C-alpha cells in the first residue's frame, strides 16, 4: 500500500459543499492555514499538481466564469483513474494489439492510468511554469491520446454530478444554467418557448435524498 | 457437464423479443418456458439513482461489457479486422430487458413496400436500373399480415402518436405516407418542445408533412390490455441510454416482466451465458450455457427461441454450426448476409434563443417522411432509397452538449477563447438529423473472426462493412434538405457538407444493426422462413431485427415486436399442433 497522498486546496476557493461531497474521504479542513486536505486515490500530490495545472489551462477561470480548479476537476480525474475505468475493466483488451486505420479508434494496450502516468512525466515541471509556457507545452501534445483524455475528462469534471468529485459546489452547472437531474418537467416542456428557463440546480444526492453508488467506487 | 431438468422451451435472451415471446407462450399454452439472460436484473430504484451523465452516457453502464465480448470490424474482405475496443457507433444493452431498457422509445411501423422491397424496386425502376450488389429481398410476410400485430404491439407499449393513414384515409397531422392502420394510436402525441415547434413550423412552410415521432413514452397514464399501468412521461431528459426512473417508458422490465412473474411455467435465469445451441440429426436438443460461477451446464429443451439481439443471434448460429455461412465471393450461403446499420447524419444548427434543451424525452420530436423510401426519386439521383429528416429533443446533458460552436468560431478546442464561444452557444444549438434507410449490399456481412476471442475463448463476430456511394449520396442530399429547413427555422446551419467518410466504429450512429439471420422466401436466400423458423432446424426460431433483410428509416423495435407475435401465432397455432417445417 502506497503512502497516502493529499491534494491541498484553499478552502475558500472551493465552497462549502466540497466538504460534504468528500465525506467518504474524510477530507480535513486545516483551520490554521485555511486549506482542505483531500486524500488522493491514484495520483501522487505532485502528479495532481501537474494535472490540476493542465486542466486549468484547458478550462481556465477567467472573466467568463469558473475554471477547472474551482470545480475540483483533478479530484474527478483522480477518482475515475482509481476506479474500473482507469484500469480498463470494461474495455476489450485482448491481444494482438495492432495499428489500424483511424476509423477503428484507440487500439493501444495502455489503459488510462498508464496513459496519464506517461503523459504527466512528459509534462515535467509543468505546474511551476508561466501560463504561456504551459500553453506551448499543451499545444505540443495536442494530438496525443493523453491530451485527448485530459481534455475530455476536464469537461467531464466541470459538469459531472458532484458525487463524482468534480463540479464542486455545482459551480459548473450554475454557470451553465443547467439544473442537474430533476424529475418532472411536465408543466414546462411546452412552455418558455424562446425564453430561458433555469430552475435552481440540484445534485442527484439532493434529488433522491440519499447516497448514490457511483461506478468509480466499484472495487472488484 | 451437468444435464439440467428438461424444459419445453428455452428462450435465449431476456430482451424485448424474448420476453414478448415468453409472454405469448405462457399465456396461450401450458408449456414450461425458461429465459436465459446473460446480464443482471435491475430494479426501478436502480434507475432512479441512475440520472447521471458520467456513468451512463460517458461510461455506458447499461451496455454490454466489452471486456467480455465485442465485435471486430474491417472495411472490406481485403482488409485485416481489428476489435472494436470501446463504444462506439452502436450501443447494445445488457441485463433483463436488453436494449429495450435504454432505448429512446421510437415506435414506427415499417412502410408496406419494405416487406417486398426486391419486387417493389424492380417494378419501380426496372431490374436493369438497380445498382450492382444491391441485396434487397422480399420478406415473405406483408404489411397487411402484420397490421394486427403492429396494433397489438402499439397497445402493449401504449404508443403515443398521430395516425396519418386511417384505413386508407389521410389524416391531418400524422404521417400521410405511412401504411394504412386500422386504429388511431392508443395515446395522443407527446407535448411539443420549442425545437419541435420550430421544426414543425418550418417544414410546414416548405410544404412538407411534419408529424410527431410515435413514442413508447406515454403522453398520459396508460393501462394496456394486459392490465399493466404506467405513468406518463415527465420529460426529465434522462431517457436514451438510461432506464426510466418513473417507469413511464415502455421497457420489457415494466411492461412484460410483471405479467410473466405471475405465470406458472415461466422461469428467468440471469447471468446465464448461452454458448451453444445443441442439435442432433436436424433437431435441437437444448443449449449449453455458463452460469454466474462459470459452471458449464446443459439445458435440454424441445424448442429453442434465439432472441439475443442481432449480433449474438448471428454469432450463436455460427458457433453452433447451424446453417451455411454466407460466402461473399460466390454469393452462396445465407448466415451472416445483409448486415446493415441504419444511416444517420446530422446538420448542426444554431439559434438565437435558448432552447431549454435539458428538458425532453427520447421520442420528443417531429419528423418528415416526404423524402423517405423512394418517394420522388426518378432513378437518376444515384440512390434508390432515401430516408427521413427529424428534430429531436432527447434532453441535452452538459458534458456532451458543451462545446458545440459554429464552424470557424474559434481556432482551438480548449482554453479561454474556446470556453467563451462554448458558453455563448450553450443551449442554442441543435441537430437536424437524417435517419436514412441502409439498403443491404452484397459485400457487407458477418462471420466469425479468425483471431480475436471472447472471455471463453470463442471467436468474436466479425463485421465486414463500409459505406458506399449510395450512402454518401443519401447524406449529401439530406444535408441539402436540412440546410433549407434550418434556414426556414431562422437558424444558422453549419453548411459543411457531410464527409464522404468510411464506416467508423467510434462515432455513435444508431443502435440499429440488422440482418445476419434474415427472413425470406427460400432457404437459398434466407436463414429463417417468414415465420422466423429456421429453414434447417424446425424447432429453432430466430427472432428480432436479425431477420430484417433491409434497414429502413423507421426504427426497428415495433416491427421486431410485431414479428414476434406473428411468429408466436405460427408457433402456437401451427407448429405445436404438428411440429415440423411450416414452409
Asked, for residue B30, whether it belongs to a domain, the answer is yes
pLDDT at A16: 47
Of B55, B398, B453, the CB nearest to A178: B398
Sort out which chain A residues have CB atoms less than 8 A from B416's CB and list them. 60, 62, 64
Chain A residue closest to B414 (CA)?
A: A58
In this prediction, residue A218 has a pLDDT band, given cuts at 50, 70 and 90, of: confident
Asked, for residue B152, whether it belongs to a domain, the answer is no
pLDDT at A33: 73
Q: Are the Cβ atoms of B232 and A186 closer than 8 angstroms?
A: yes
Q: Are the Cβ atoms of A181 and B52 closer than 8 angstroms?
A: yes
Q: How many domains does chain B have?
A: 1
The rounded distance, in Å, linking the Cα atoms of B502 and B509 is 13
Asked, for residue A20, whether it belongs to a domain, the answer is yes
Place of cell 392502420: B181
A195 touches chain B (CB under 8 A): yes
Q: Which domain holds residue B533?
A: 1-140+244-342+512-583
What cell was used for B130? 438497380
A136 touches chain B (CB under 8 A): no
Of A90, A98, A204, the CB nearest to B51: A204
Residue A178 has φ and ψ, to the nearest 5°, of -90, 130
Q: Calculate how close chain B gets to A26, using CA atoms only, in Å.
A: 23
The rounded distance, in Å, linking the Cα atoms of B248 and B244 is 6
In this prediction, residue B98 has a pLDDT band, given cuts at 50, 70 and 90, of: very high
Residue B132 has φ and ψ, to the nearest 5°, of -60, 140
Q: Are the Cβ atoms of A207 and B414 closer than 8 angstroms?
A: no
Q: Looking at the predicted structure, is the pLDDT value of residue B123 above 60?
A: yes
Q: Calculate how close chain B gets to A218, using CA atoms only, in Å.
A: 12
Q: Calculate how close chain B gets to A57, using CA atoms only, in Å.
A: 6
Give the closest residue to A115 by CA, choosing from A136, A95, A141.
Answer: A141
Which CATH number do you get for residue B126? 3.50.50.60
Asked, for residue A162, whether it belongs to a domain, the answer is yes
Residues 30-69 of A with CB under 8 A from B: 57-60, 62, 64-65
In this prediction, residue B379 has a pLDDT band, given cuts at 50, 70 and 90, of: confident
Q: Looking at the predicted structure, is the pLDDT value of residue B252 above 90?
A: yes
Q: Are the Cβ atoms of A185 and B235 closer than 8 angstroms?
A: yes
The rounded distance, in Å, linking the Cα atoms of B488 and B471 is 26
Of B234, B238, B505, the CB nearest to A105: B505
Q: Looking at the predicted structure, is the pLDDT value of residue A25 above 80?
A: no
- The reply to whether B279 belongs to the active site is no
Q: Looking at the predicted structure, is the pLDDT value of residue A15 above 60?
A: no
In this prediction, residue A2 has a pLDDT band, given cuts at 50, 70 and 90, of: low
pLDDT at A62: 97
The rounded distance, in Å, linking the Cα atoms of B148 and B568 is 13
> Which residues are registered as beta bridge partners of B448?
B461
Q: How many domains does chain A have?
A: 1
> Mean pLDDT for chain B?
97
Q: Are the Cβ atoms of A105 and B238 closer than 8 angstroms?
A: no
Q: Looking at the predicted structure, is the pLDDT value of residue B26 above 90?
A: yes
Chain A residue closest to B427 (CA)?
A: A176
Of A155, A182, A207, the CB nearest to B402: A155
> Mean pLDDT for chain A?
91
Q: Are A189 and B359 in contact (CB under 8 A)?
A: yes
Chain A residue closest to B198 (CA)?
A: A193
Chain A residue closest to B220 (CA)?
A: A186
Q: Are the Cβ atoms of B49 and A204 closer than 8 angstroms?
A: yes
Mean pLDDT of B229-251: 97
Q: State the catalytic residue, choosing from B438, B479, B512, B534.
A: B512
Q: Which domain holds residue A173?
A: 6-217
Mean pLDDT of B371-390: 94
Q: What is the pTM of this model?
A: 0.97
Of B54, B403, B423, the CB nearest to A161: B54
Chain B residue closest to A212 (CA)?
A: B49
Q: Are the Cβ atoms of B234 and A172 closer than 8 angstroms?
A: no
A209 touches chain B (CB under 8 A): no
Q: Are the Cβ atoms of B414 and A57 closer than 8 angstroms?
A: yes
Q: Are the Cβ atoms of A181 and B193 closer than 8 angstroms?
A: no
A140 touches chain B (CB under 8 A): no
Mean pLDDT of B237-262: 97
Asked, for residue A1, whether it belongs to a domain, the answer is no
Number of residues that make up chain B = 583
Give the closest residue to A19 by CA, choosing from A48, A39, A3.
Answer: A39
Asked, for residue A108, whether it belongs to a domain, the answer is yes
Pairing of strands B296-306, B7-12: parallel
B380 vs A177, more confident: A177
Asked, for residue B161, whether it belongs to a domain, the answer is no
Number of residues that make up chain A = 220
Sort out which chain A residues have CB atoms less than 8 A from B236's CB and list them. 181-185
In this prediction, residue B285 has a pLDDT band, given cuts at 50, 70 and 90, of: very high
What is the full DSSP assignment across A75-119?
HHHHHHHHSTTTTTTTS--PSPP----GGG----S--HHHHHHHH
Say what the alpha-carbon torsion angle B192, B217, B357, A58 is, to the nearest 10 degrees.
-170
Q: Residues of chain B with pLDDT > 70: what percent?
A: 100
Amino acid at each position: 500500500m502506497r503512502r497516502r497522498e493529499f491534494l491541498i486546496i484553499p478552502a475558500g476557493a472551493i465552497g462549502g459543499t466540497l466538504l460534504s461531497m468528500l465525506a467518504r474521504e474524510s477530507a480535513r479542513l486545516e483551520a490554521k492555514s485555511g486549506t482542505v486536505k483531500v486524500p488522493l486515490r491514484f495520483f501522487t500530490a505532485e502528479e495532481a499538481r501537474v494535472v490540476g495545472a493542465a486542466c486549468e489551462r484547458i478550462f481556465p477561470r477567467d472573466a467568463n466564469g469558473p475554471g477547472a480548479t474551482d470545480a475540483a476537476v483533478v479530484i474527478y480525474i483522480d477518482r475515475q483513474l482509481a476506479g474500473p475505468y482507469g484500469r480498463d475493466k470494461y474495455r476489450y483488451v485482448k491481444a494482438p494489439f495492432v495499428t489500424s486505420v483511424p476509423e477503428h479508434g484507440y487500439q493501444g494496450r495502455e489503459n488510462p492510468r498508464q496513459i496519464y502516468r506517461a503523459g504527466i512525466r512528459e509534462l515535467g515541471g509543468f505546474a511551476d511554469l508561466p501560463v504561456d509556457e504551459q500553453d506551448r507545452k499543451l499545444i505540443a501534445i495536442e494530438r496525443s491520446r493523453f491530451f485527448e483524455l485530459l481534455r475530455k475528462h476536464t469537461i467531464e469534471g466541470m459538469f459531472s454530478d458532484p458525487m463524482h468529485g468534480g463540479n464542486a459546489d455545482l459551480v459548473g452547472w450554475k454557470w451553465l444554467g443547467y439544473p442537474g437531474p430533476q424529475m418532472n418537467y411536465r408543466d414546462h416542456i411546452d412552455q418558455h418557448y424562446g425564453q430561458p428557463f433555469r430552475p435552481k440546480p440540484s445534485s442527484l444526492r439532493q434529488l433522491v435524498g440519499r447516497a448514490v453508488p457511483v461506478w468509480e467506487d466499484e472495487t472488484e | 457437464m451437468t444435464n439440467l431438468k428438461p424444459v419445453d422451451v428455452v428462450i435465449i435472451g431476456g430482451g424485448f423479443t424474448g420476453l414478448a415471446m415468453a409472454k405469448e407462450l405462457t399465456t396461450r399454452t401450458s408449456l414450461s418456458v425458461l429465459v436465459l439472460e446473460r446480464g443482471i436484473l435491475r430494479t426501478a430504484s436502480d434507475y432512479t439513482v441512475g440520472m447521471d451523465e458520467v456513468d451512463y452516457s460517458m461510461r455506458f453502464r447499461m451496455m454490454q461489457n466489452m471486456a467480455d465480448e465485442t465485435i471486430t470490424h474491417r472495411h472490406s474482405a481485403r482488409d485485416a479486422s481489428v476489435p472494436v475496443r470501446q463504444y462506439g457507433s452502436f450501443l447494445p444493452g445488457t441485463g433483463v430487458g436488453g436494449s429495450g431498457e435504454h432505448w429512446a422509445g421510437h415506435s414506427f411501423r415499417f412502410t408496406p413496400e419494405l416487406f417486398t422491397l426486391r419486387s417493389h424496386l424492380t417494378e419501380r425502376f426496372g431490374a436493369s436500373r438497380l445498382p450492382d450488389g444491391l441485396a434487397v429481398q422480399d420478406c415473405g410476410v406483408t404489411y397487411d399480415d402484420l397490421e394486427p400485430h403492429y396494433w397489438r404491439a402499439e397497445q402493449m407499449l401504449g404508443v403515443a402518436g398521430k395516425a396519418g393513414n386511417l384505413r386508407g384515409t389521410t389524416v391531418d397531422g400524422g404521417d400521410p405516407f405511412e401504411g394504412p392502420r386500422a386504429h388511431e394510436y392508443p395515446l395522443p402525441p407527446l407535448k411539443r418542445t420549442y425545437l419541435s415547434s420550430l421544426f414543425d413550423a418550418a417544414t410546414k412552410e416548405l410544404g412538407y408533412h411534419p408529424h410527431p415521432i410515435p413514442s413508447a413514452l406515454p403522453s398520459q397514464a396508460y393501462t394496456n390490455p394486459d392490465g399493466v399501468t404506467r405513468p406518463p412521461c415527465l420529460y426529465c431528459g434522462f431517457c436514451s441510454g438510461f432506464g426510466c426512473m418513473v417507469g413511464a417508458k415502455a421497457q420489457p422490465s415494466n411492461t412484460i416482466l410483471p405479467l410473466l412473474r405471475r405465470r406458472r411455467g415461466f422461469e428467468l435465469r440471469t447471468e446465464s451465458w448461452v454458448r451453444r445451441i445443441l442439435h442432433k440429426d436436424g433437431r435441437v436438443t437444448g443449449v449449453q450455457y455458463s452460469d454466474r460461477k462459470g459452471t458449464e451446464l446443459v439445458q435440454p429443451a424441445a424448442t429453442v427461441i434465439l432472441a439475443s439481439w442481432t449480433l449474438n443471434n448471428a454469432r450463436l448460429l455460427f458457433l453452433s454450426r447451424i446453417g451455411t455461412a454466407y460466402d461473399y465471393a460466390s454469393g452462396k450461403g445465407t448466415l451472416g448476409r445483409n448486415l446493415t446499420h441504419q444511416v444517420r447524419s446530422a446538420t448542426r444548427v444554431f439559434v438565437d434563443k435558448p432552447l431549454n434543451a435539458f428538458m425532453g424525452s427520447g421520442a420528443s420530436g417531429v419528423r418528415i417522411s416526404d423524402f423517405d423510401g423512394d418517394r420522388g426519386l426518378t432513378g437518376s439521383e444515384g440512390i434508390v432509397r432515401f430516408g427521413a429528416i427529424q428534430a429531436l429533443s432527447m434532453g441535452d446533458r452538459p458534458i456532451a452538449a458543451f462545446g458545440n460552436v459554429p464552424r470557424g468560431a474559434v481556432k482551438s478546442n480548449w482554453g479561454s477563447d474556446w470556453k467563451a464561444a462554448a458558453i455563448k452557444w450553450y443551449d442554442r444549438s441543435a441537430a437536424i438529423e437524417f435517419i436514412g434507410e441502409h439498403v443491404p449490399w452484397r459485400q457487407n456481412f458477418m462471420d466469425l473472426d479468425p483471431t480475436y476471442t471472447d472471455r471463453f475463448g470463442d471467436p468474436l463476430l466479425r463485421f465486414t462493412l463500409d459505406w458506399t456511394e449510395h450512402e454518401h449520396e443519401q447524406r449529401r442530399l439530406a444535408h441539402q434538405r436540412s440546410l433549407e429547413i434550418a434556414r426556414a427555422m431562422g437558424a444558422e446551419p453549419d453548411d459543411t457538407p457531410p464527409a464522404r467518410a468510411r464506416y467508423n466504429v467510434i462515432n455513435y450512429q444508431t443502435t440499429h444493426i440488422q440482418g445476419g439471420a434474415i427472413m425470406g422466401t427460400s432457404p437459398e436466400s434466407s436463414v429463417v422462413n417468414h415465420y422466423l423458423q429456421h429453414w434447417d432446424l424446425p424447432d429453432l426460431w430466430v427472432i428480432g431485427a436479425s431477420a430484417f433483410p433491409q434497414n429502413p428509416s423507421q426504427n426497428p423495435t415495433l416491427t421486431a415486436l410485431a414479428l414476434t407475435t406473428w411468429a408466436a401465432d405460427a408457433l402456437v397455432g401451427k407448429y405445436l399442433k404438428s411440429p415440423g417445417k411450416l414452409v
